[in-house]
Structure 1
Amino acid sequence: MPEAYWLYEDGIGEARAALVHDDGILAARIELPGRLRVGTIARARLTEFQLATLDSGEQVMLDRRPPGLTLGAALTVEVVREAIPEPGRAKRARARPTDAAPAAGPDLLARITAAGHPVRHLRAHEADALEQAGWSETLDEALTGDIAFPGGALRMSPTPAMTLFDVDGDGALDQLAERAAVAVAQAIRRHDIGGSIGIDFPTITGKAPRQAVAAAIDAHLALPFERTAVNGFGFLQIVRPRPRASLPELLRDDPAATATRAALRLLERAPPTAPNRHRLSPAVDACLAAQPDWLAELVRRTGRTPILNA
């Protein structure tokens, strides 16, 4: 069986990667520039009881306040969780005190390279291997929450408290629940979902069928994670590490910017002989106006200036 491999693309406004196996996406990752990454070690000052301000001006919550440290005192911190977008506000990045020397945290390319699978770098003039593997479909899952699986469908709903999966489908409920468990485990990996995860399975009777559903989660979701049993109402909860935002949280945080980056990807891949006039939505047009460096990078990469909405 062919080995899984990463596809990596240094896009305009984002870096993107997909772990591909058997022509399907096992894991999809997007990283936006300028974000404070896990593993970053930086100098800071204590500005509130458990709040530190980095020399760059960014603020991080501390896991613990070092004993004897007074407000305004200098310290060095290591980022252990990136900022998490939420409706109306964002959870600040979390950090812990450290004695290590300042250093930048590993970016997406460094992380996937360290994972051990081969990495293939994509170029805009090549065939679109990401799209062939199902990139657009994966992004649609993240944006809409609708995930199909054989004989059923999941509805994925990120909330500030947890990511929820609701199961719907046909056939015997115990078999539907087992298929759904596999689909949920695969979706968790594909969309990089961490923290608390709740799954609302169909209500199934009997200890053995509920244990089979839990076993399907165990078989298809890599450690580390903890879970409950399936209770009598069909609910199971999983808790996983959450070092950064999931793909749905990242894409839904700014839908206009998400759509703009996707549009730029298509524009960059347009053949030189293709028409150069493009009609964009008002939201994408406004986002491009607010991000002139993105359009400038497109011109630099393609060698021509697109005519937009003219």
Structure 2
Amino acid sequence: MADAAADGWLVEQGIGEERALFYRDGNVMAARLRWPGGLEPGAVVEGLLVSRTRGSTRGHAVFPNGEEALVDKLPRHASEGARMRFAVTRAAMGEAHRIKLAQVRPTQEPERPAPALTAILPGARTIFAFAHGDWENISDLAFEGTVSFSGGSLHFAPTPAMVMVDVDGHLPPRDLALAAVEPIARAITLLGMGGMIGIDFPTLEAKADRKTVDIALEAALADFDHERTAMNGFGFVQIVARFERPSILHLFQHDRAGAAVRLLLRRAETLTGPGRIELAAHPAVMARLSEDWLGKLRQRTGKELSMRPDATLALDAPHAQLIPR
């Protein structure tokens, strides 16, 4: 298990995923999640230019895995039907009713896979498993999209335009806004969020009160690289940050079964003791258990597996346990 006193990035290499937690003084301060397999930033992949906009440097490409991407910075000589190498600059983003395609640009660099989290995160170290509960707290937050704090709550909702953060509670508006600042900043870093983030604070009529919240938010987000608007008269603040890959919130909210099956596999892999492993989950989760992943689980644990679909289990509540032979 992880050393609770360790500082810096620690990475778990799960089945179908990589997880990372940043520790400071034994506390989890930030998190990252990678689901390999698609077009990811840092990869250089050969693809087919299937179309380009007349008189523009933009186009549309398709890749051997079937994934499509938007192309930018096309040279004049690039014609439809050409096979080219592309550098991935942004991964695809799942949204409520559509997939926002990955973004790529032509390159002469040799093909290469996307980097692992250990290559992206400075000083990252690979471990077998985090301390119990550390990742579970992150996954619960990502599944629910809600945070409770003294006097109120937050609701995080990915939309096509931005992630909206709704602040609600029973405190007076100024007190509620100030109480929400630290939980908002913590959730943003724990969920690895970026892009456009809109925060709907309660309306504060006094300019001095809005300024007080702005100052508090600036301090809370001091370690988060971003730009931010001042709170307007309706209590709205907009944050803009670099966004190359889906946040943990995006991954869990758009593909709940995919997130749950990876949690199930990780729980199974960390079981210790004799017996076979029973995997129990909602049928929609069980349907995502590929033979490749099950084979890796058998290889890593050296144990027999049995499956128990259970429609009474919540989608986000898969269960793994050891069954005596």
Q: Which amino acid aligns with 1:122?
A: I
Q: Distance in 2 between matches of 1:70 and 1:293?
A: 38
Residue equivalent to 1:297: 296
2:38 aligns with: 35
Kindly indicate which of the two structures has a greater share of residues assigned to helix: 1
Are the structure 2 counterparts of residues 51 and 251 from structure 1 closer, same or farther at C-alpha, using a change threshold of 3 Å?
same
Task: Establish whether residue 97 from structure 1 lines up as the match of residue 106 from structure 2.
Answer: yes
Secondary structure of the residue aligned to 2:19 is strand
Find the aligned partners of 1:61 and 1:200 in 2 and give their Cα distance: 32
**Is 1:46 the equivalent of 2:49?**
yes
Paired with 1:279 and 1:55, the residues of 2 have a C-alpha distance of: 34
Rounded to whole Å, the distance in 1 between the matches of 2:250 and 2:108 is: 32
Shift, 1:305, TM fit = 0.8
2-structure distance, mates of 1:260, 1:105: 23
Per the alignment, residue 10 of structure 2 pairs with 7
Question: Is 2:190 the partner of 1:185?
Answer: no
Residue from 54, 65, 68 that aligns with 1:59: 68
Q: Shift of residue 120 of structure 1?
A: 3.8
Residue 121 of structure 1 corresponds to which residue in structure 2? Answer: 126
Seq. identity, %: 39
Deviation at 1:54, TM superposition (A): 4.1
Unpaired runs of at least 5, structure 2? 53-58, 310-325
8 Å CA contact 2:189, 2:224 repeated in 1: no
Partner of 2:317: none
Residue 293 of structure 1 aligns to which amino acid in structure 2?
D
1:73-84 correspondence runs (5 A): 73-84=82-93
Q: Contact 1:142–1:251 at 8 Å: present in 2 too?
A: yes
Contact 1:6 / 1:20 at 8 angstroms: preserved in 2? yes
* Structure 2 length-normalised TM: 0.83
Paired residue type of 1:149: F
- 2:279 and 2:307 mapped to 1: Cα distance? 5
Residues 25 and 135 in structure 1, CA contact (< 8 A), matched pair in contact too: no
Q: Which runs of 5+ in 1 are unaligned?
A: none
CA–CA distance in structure 1, aligned partners of residues 262 and 64 of structure 2: 30
CA contact (8 A) 2:38 2:67 kept: no
CA deviation vs aligned residue, 1:35-68 (integer Å, no higher than 9, x gap): 2220112334422111123466543212333234
252-261 vs 71-80, greater mean Cα deviation:
71-80
What TM-score, normalized to structure 1? 0.87
SS in structure 2 opposite 1:309?
A: strand
Structure 2 equivalent of residue 241 of structure 1: 242
Q: What is the 5 A alignment of 1:108-257?
A: 108-112=117-121, 115-116=122-123, 119-123=124-128, 128-129=130-131, 131-132=132-133, 134-221=134-221, 222=223, 224-257=225-258
